[in-house]
Amino acid sequence: MLLERTFGELCVALRRLQDDLAALRVTVVEDKPLAGEVMLVDDFGNAAEDVLGWVKQALAQSMESYAAVSAQFDQERARAALADCQEQFHQAVQRFSTGLMEYERVGSLMRLGRQRKGEWQAWCGSVKESLDRCQPQLLAIYRALLACWQELSERAMSGSVSIRATNIGQQLLHCEDSMRTQKESLF
């Protein structure tokens, strides 16, 4: 079934992003150089954990939506879970953009590596590589969300019937009767 496959692809894309973010978090928080504390490291660590949390929630909702389109199709449950998934994902993207990939923040990261050299330069390079690995996954999830909404909409429309009732003819007759009555009362 195309609907199941499309929703399954969303789950896979979110799981890949979760894995990439978990690797980023390990690099930022656990693999940082031991010598010298830097506030920028804490900022990146906090942002990575925030984004990872939002993505985990989005993944849980995507799995809920997948379950709703699998075995017994439940359109309302699928729609609600997909909407929640998309909201969680948007929160993650917002935090990723402002907390991790903001131009000034990445610039500060690269300057830190150049200034401190050695372990710090290698660490900063690893963080930047991890960030870069996440970007294609974000795009894949946007595409997967769009595909899910399209499939869900098509499924909803395939079973619907549109009936339009008009009573224009009756209105015209009523209008003609009314005009006839008015003419008769004038003469």
Cα 145 from Cα 164, distance rounded (Å) = 32
Alpha-carbon Rg for the chain, nearest whole angstrom, is: 28
Position 3 scores a pLDDT of 87
| Rounded (5°) CA angle 31-95-78 | 110
The Cβ-side half-sphere exposure at 23, using a 13 Å CA radius, reads 15
1-10, pLDDT tens digit by residue? 688 999 999 9
Placement of tokens 């993944």 in the chain: 59
Condensed to tens digits (0 to 9), the pLDDT of residues 132-181 reads 999 999 999 999 999 999 999 998 887 644 444 555 554 444 545 554 55
**Cα angle 66, 19, 128; round to 5:** 135
| Whether residue 187 has pLDDT greater than 60 | no
Residue 135: alpha-carbon gap to chain centroid: 13
pLDDT for 33: 80
Position 86 pLDDT exceeds 60: yes
Tokens standing for residue 112? 């830190």
* Residues 96 and 17 sit within 8 Å (Cβ to Cβ): no
Report for 6-10, 98-102, 180-184: range of highest mean pLDDT: 6-10
Query: How many Cα atoms are found within 13 Å in the side-chain-facing hemisphere of 94?
Result: 7
The SS3 call for residue 64 is helix
The pLDDT, as a whole number, for residue 162 is: 41
pLDDT in the model for residue 180 = 54
pLDDT digits (tens, 9 = 90+) for 56-82: 999 999 999 999 999 788 999 999 999
Q: Are 96 and 54 in contact (CB under 8 A)?
A: no
**Alpha-helix residue ranges (DSSP H) falling in 30-117:** 39-69, 75-95, 103-116
What integer pLDDT is reported at residue 155 of this predicted model? 87
pLDDT band at 129 (very low <50, low <70, confident <90, very high): very high
pLDDT tens per residue across span 21-45: 999 999 998 888 877 667 888 899 9
Angle made by CA atoms 107, 118, 96, in degrees to the nearest 5: 30
Q: What are phi and psi of 52, to 5 degrees?
A: -60, -40
Closest Cα to residue 92, out of 104, 101, 105, 82? 101
Question: So what's the pLDDT on residue 1?
Answer: 63
CATH classification of 2-186, choosing from 3.90.1150.10, 1.10.10.10, 1.20.120.230, 2.20.25.90?
Answer: 1.20.120.230
